[in-house]
Amino acid sequence: MKWEWLKEVAAEHRYKIIGGLGGFLFALLVVWFGWWALFILFCTGIGYWIGKRMDEGPESLVQIFERLLPPRRR
């Protein structure tokens, strides 16, 4: 009964809590690793994005490479 209010608050402000924790973790990364933390987060973001596209189907990843890479000359 005591924890019901906490569950309600967490459900109502879910993304605010996640964003705050993400900001806190980013601050810890900068303190521990310096600006290398930006590189780590950038690579993590790229990996997440590629994984998300792969979940949508391998064709979507092929479309990305077709858009990014110039066509081959024959």
Shared domain check, 42 and 69: yes
Q: DSSP 3-state assignment of 39? A: helix
Nearest to 26 by CA among 44, 41, 7, 5: 41
Range of the domain at 45: 35-74
Q: Are residues 43 and 74 in the same domain?
A: yes
- Asked if residue 42 and residue 22 are part of one domain, the reply reads no
Q: What is the pLDDT of residue 39?
A: 85
Asked if 14 and 25 sit in the same domain, the reply is yes
Same domain, 56 and 74: yes
Residues of the chain under the 50 pLDDT cut: none
Is 55 found in the same domain as 28?
A: no
Cβ atoms of 38 and 23 within 8 Å: the answer is no
Q: Are residues 29 and 54 in the same domain?
A: no
Q: Which residue carries 């081959």 as its tokens?
A: 72
pLDDT value at residue 61: 67
pLDDT at 50: 75
Q: Are residues 62 and 45 in the same domain?
A: yes
pLDDT at 20: 86
Listed in order, strand segments (DSSP E) in 1-74 are none
